[in-house]
Structure 1
Amino acid sequence: MIEVMIADDQELMRDSLHILLSTKADIHICSLVKNGKEVLAQIPETKPDVILMDIRMPELDGVTCTKLVKEAYPEIKIIVLTTFDDDEYIYDALKYGASSYLLKGVSLEELYQAIQTVQNGGAIIHPNVAVKAMKMFSEMANSTLEPETPEGIKTLSKTEWKILQQVGNGLSNREIADKLCFSEGTVRNYISVILDKLSLRDRTQLAIWAVQNHKLVNKEDQK
């Protein structure tokens, strides 16, 4: 059973999501809250696995709340669910550890699949948002600022560089497995090791790092 918290300042949205998601046998809505402060207050009691997080909420917005939740409870997965696709929100939400960024127009099945995906360690970004995100990260990668280089980068193997390159290209674990002739479980294990070496929190941050450091990633992969 996946415990899901719904955080949205609109009662109609909270209730609608509650009713729809409750039709899924493996989903339990453990809490309905209307702002970021209530999210933080309810977590110790309700222990959600996944939080559906609205962006624009009073008292404490979804972006700041995402940051605070991931700092205190890194195991909780956060799906940003919003009507807004502003660049600022995309970058900050992903930077602070959101596993997915979806627009509120998604279908029930899309949202249900997103919940299952993030619970299993994956990430989903709405196509319209993904285009903006990739453009933004590419611009950052081409900027004159030197990205931070983790000490563990020196210990990455050739295979780990190959997998890192494919993550940066936007491939899923299954696609990487097919491309490199590995099992999906092997790819997951490699990614866990890479995350540890680069001191990154999750696959989303790994993808961002790979795009920001695309020149280094591509160079190492060719050795």
Structure 2
Amino acid sequence: MGTVTAETAHTAETAETAETADGATTADFWFDPLCPWAWITSRWMLEVQQVRPVRTRWHVMSLAVLNEGRDLPEQYRSFLDEAWGPVRVCIAAAAQHGDDVLGPLYTALGTRFHHQGLPRDRATIEDALEEAGLPRELAAAADSDAYDEALRASHKEGITLVGEDVGTPVIAVPGADGEQIAFFGPVVTPVPRGEAAGRLWDGTLLVAGTPGFYEIKRTRTVGPSFE
């Protein structure tokens, strides 16, 4: 498999308007399929789309890339070694079949990883690809660096918007003047549903539209809940 450049593999354009032709607001969302907190936030975005005129545009970021060169506990280092495969497959799928496949593929992968507790191996990835209507052969990208340039470009796009001292997910929404304002998070558990999801979205737009706003945070006292 030949090397794929960032230009050919990553087709999302950050310069696109934050408002679509039908008047919906666009939220750009960067995810790593292995992050449980990103998964919960992504399911919140699907809820938001049911109660607000919002469209989510999915992008890939990488916990493995984010943590390169850092001194980390061995257990987390092993986790990051496993994290390369799924993001590589996502980038390969987008390169070959278009960015629109990222949402269904993320759902198929995340359901298996976080709800079903299946191993992060080739068989699980192949089944997720098939569910998303994609060729099972794309799973071979998990063990190849052919798409790593495109992966790093997608990751850098999100990190450039939000800054270095964050994790996944990253979400970018329209600010006061329509420019993209990016945040880490929101980190929430369990998934807000219905109008509760809409209110959290309203708040996200509110803080994004406040010049000089940077952070709200408190200590997490519970783990991720996938209810």
TM-score normalised by L of structure 1? 0.24
TM-score normalised by L of structure 2? 0.24
